[in-house]
Amino acid sequence: MYSLDELTGFLKSAGCSDRVIEHCVAVRNLSVKYAREIPDADLNLVEAGAVLHDIGRSVTHGIAHAQIGADICRKLGFSEDICLIVERHIGAGLPAAECAELGLDAHDCIPLTLEEKIVAHCDNLVKGANVISIGERMSLAEKSGLSEKARERIAKLSDEIEGLRTLRSEKM
């Protein structure tokens, strides 16, 4: 796969700010920790997807950055698995109807694979370059006016991923 330096090099080449790169590395660090704790997670895929998840912020800081970022990754020749992590990382994903309402390409952007879910969840747990609790994320989501449906998806994703971590620790 790619080294961390190579992956952050793609962010720099795309024009991401140092702040965005710091955030991506923080999401990568947490995502890798989770991937190591959850059986069957592809560590290399999680790492690459986590570092690249905000590459679209080189173009816009709006919600379109996920779809734009996936397009950038496709043009750079990354695997579709990585591109889908980038495309589906917003909150806990966006169904096609919400994408259309937001002026995005109207297709499902809900994380489906384990790796997509890990990166989306860990992105929710990182504000800037700092790890926050899911309670803090939910409070921020409510204050920012995020819909109840979107907040419910975030909570459900958190329960799923944290549950997988709990299962692993119970088996040890």
CA distance 120 to 89: 4
For the cut 80, the answer to whether the pLDDT of residue 166 exceeds it is no
For the cut 60, the answer to whether the pLDDT of residue 172 exceeds it is no
Task: Return phi, psi of residue 22, to 5°.
Answer: -60, -40
Confidence of residue 126 (pLDDT cuts 50, 70, 90): very high
pLDDT value of residue 154 = 97
CA distance 93 to 109: 5
CA distance 133 to 98: 26
pLDDT by residue (tens digit) across 133-151? 999 999 999 999 999 999 9
pLDDT value of residue 1 = 82
Task: Name the average pLDDT for the chain.
Answer: 95
pLDDT by residue (tens digit) across 69-105? 999 999 999 999 999 999 999 999 999 999 999 999 9
What does pTM read for this prediction? 0.95
Expressed as residue numbers, the domain containing 70 is: 4-171
Q: How many domains does the chain have?
A: 1
Q: Which CATH number goes with the domain that contains 26? A: 1.10.3210
CA distance 81 to 77: 11
Of 160, 172, 170, the residue nearest 41 (C-alpha): 160
Of 111, 11, 98, the residue nearest 56 (C-alpha): 11
pLDDT by residue (tens digit) across 4-61? 999 999 999 999 999 999 999 999 999 999 999 999 999 999 999 999 999 999 999 9
CA distance 122 to 30: 6
CA distance 67 to 152: 22
Confidence of residue 64 (pLDDT cuts 50, 70, 90): very high
